Structure 1
Amino acid sequence: MPAPHPLIKPLLVHTGFADVAKLRHFKIDHHLVTALVERWRPEKHTFHHPVRECTITLEDVALQLGIRVDGRPITSATYYDWEEICEQYLGVVPPKGEAIVGSAIKLKWLQDNMPSLPSESTQQQLEAHCRAYILWLIGGVLMPNKTGNRVHLMYLTFLADLDRVRRYSWGFACLATLYREMCRVTNLDAKTMGGCASLLQYWAWYRMPFIAARVNRTPSYPLVTR
């Protein structure tokens, strides 16, 4: 996914998704994720290490992703006229089969057909483009399913009014999805895992710094002033 268009960056800040947009190119250490999942115990939702148990909390979500962990829950009906919903909020009508599969839309199609922004964009065009970008972030970063190429369109209904997006607990939904996916992948026949792998890796690096990647350069602190 390309970087967000400069014209929608104020809307991403307003909705609380500006920090999440920075994770779109985060490289996942699959060996680390696999090692952590092998120590996951579904009955307790904790990692079992030789010295103690631990787990990812809402505090970690707020620290690592910068999204709200309190507020209204992400719950909604899972059936609408999805073509009509997309036309109303995205400004495009995705074709069934090619773009919409059941109640989900393909991320690749969404990326390739995201509403363009002319130099003199209207507020409606800006909001439609922002909704499409946030929907991609939800399906590609925050709450990807195990296929990694679709996102449920029910999330689009929560983006209808961009002034209300901050009221929802996106962090809680993200953590619940990661818990569910890690529980599912503990099954012997599971081959892939969904959920926010970047959150899992960030958490491991922050809570267990001795396994964090080493950077061979002098650290700089551009926000510090004398």
Structure 2
Amino acid sequence: MSYELNLGPLSNEVLFLHNKHRALEVYKHSENFRSPINIMRSDRSFWKFVKQNPIGPRVEGYIRVAGFGGILDSGYRYIDHSLITLLVERWRPETHTFHLPLGETTVMLQQVNVLWDLPIKGLPVCGADNAITFSDAVVTCEEVMGLRPTENLVSGCTTFQDNSNNSINLHFLLYLHDLISCANINWGSAVLSCFWKGSLNHVDAPTHYLRSYRSQIQSVHERMFFWTLHDDVIGRLPGICTSGRDSWKSACPLISRRV
């Protein structure tokens, strides 16, 4: 008696990118995928610059007024390349969820609010509503930052990451004219939509943890997985981390800045 193993979903109507997914190649040619991917982080140069040029109290005050103080508090974080590789193999871009043996999970507004202290309520961030020519952008950049850029990008990285490594579009400067109003903009939703729309660049880097992670994730069951933060953890968080708590469980559309 012969058996045929179905490596893909029972229906391709939703997971239509199955044949192009990294996980299929990992299963078919596991010997070629024993090393984790080395994530090309776009915030490394930013935090290196901050370390070499510490932010003064006056500038830090402006950053916090604008609502981005949580980024400074989070600081630079080292990442586990093997763990990220595992998550990449479990990520489905069609549904924006990680497919685990016990079900699906994803990054939500709650995590953005808690980890980065970013507001998840307020006016949306949408690039389509803020079309800006380069000449206007140069003037805006000089007004807001006191410098004239030579190209349509300035240094940035931590929140809106893309394949340009550490660059960010100038139209975001339009939100910085009034720093108090800036703090009332829904930056959390914009960051989350950018994350869902983005991609990961990588090169291979050897380590011995990847096989262990792959094995452990297959053994995860419902009782081992925390779907939400425990109340005792939330109770210890500063107020700004829970500022959007009433929106954590809301069902609402996310607006991409590129739409």
Q: Does 1:22 align with 2:77?
A: no
The CA deviation string for residues 195-217 of structure 1, in whole angstroms up to 9 with x for no partner, is xxxxxxxxxxxx968xxxxxxxx
CA RMSD of aligned residues (A): 2.4
- Counterpart CA distance in 1 for 2:188 and 2:168 is 17
Contact preservation (8 Å) 1:23, 1:141: no
1:92 paired with 2:109, answer: no
Tell me the residue number matched to 1:39.
90
Alignment of 1:1-226 (within 5 A): 1-2=49-50, 3-76=54-127, 77-80=130-133, 81=135, 82-95=137-150, 100=151, 103-105=152-154, 107=155, 139-181=156-198, 184-185=199-200, 191=202
Cα distance between partner residues in 2 of 1:191 and 1:11? 35
Q: 2:117 & 2:140 partners in 1: Cα distance?
A: 28
**SS of the counterpart of 1:28?**
coil
- Shift in alpha-carbon separation, 1:165–1:91, aligned structure 2, 3 A: same
Q: 1:15 to 1:40 in 2, by over 3 A?
A: same
Q: Deviations over 1:85-132 (max 9, x none)?
A: 11111111122xxxx2xx322x2xxxxxxxxxxxxxxxxxxxxxxxxx
Task: Tell which deviates more after alignment, 168-177 or 79-88.
Answer: 79-88
1:129 aligns to what? none
1:208 to 1:27, Cα distance in 2 relative to 1, 3 A = farther
Shift of 1:9: 2.3
1:163 is paired with a residue whose SS is: helix
TM-score using structure 1 length: 0.61
CA contact (8 A) 1:24 1:141 kept: no
Task: Note the C-alpha offset of 1:8.
Answer: 1.9
- Over alpha carbons, which structure has the higher Rg? 2
Note the residue ranges of structure 2 that are not aligned, 5 or more in a row: 1-48, 204-223, 227-235, 239-259
Q: TM-score if structure 2 supplies the norm length? A: 0.54
SS at match of 2:195: helix
Is the 2:122–2:184 contact (alpha carbons within 8 Å) kept by the matching residues of 1?
Answer: yes
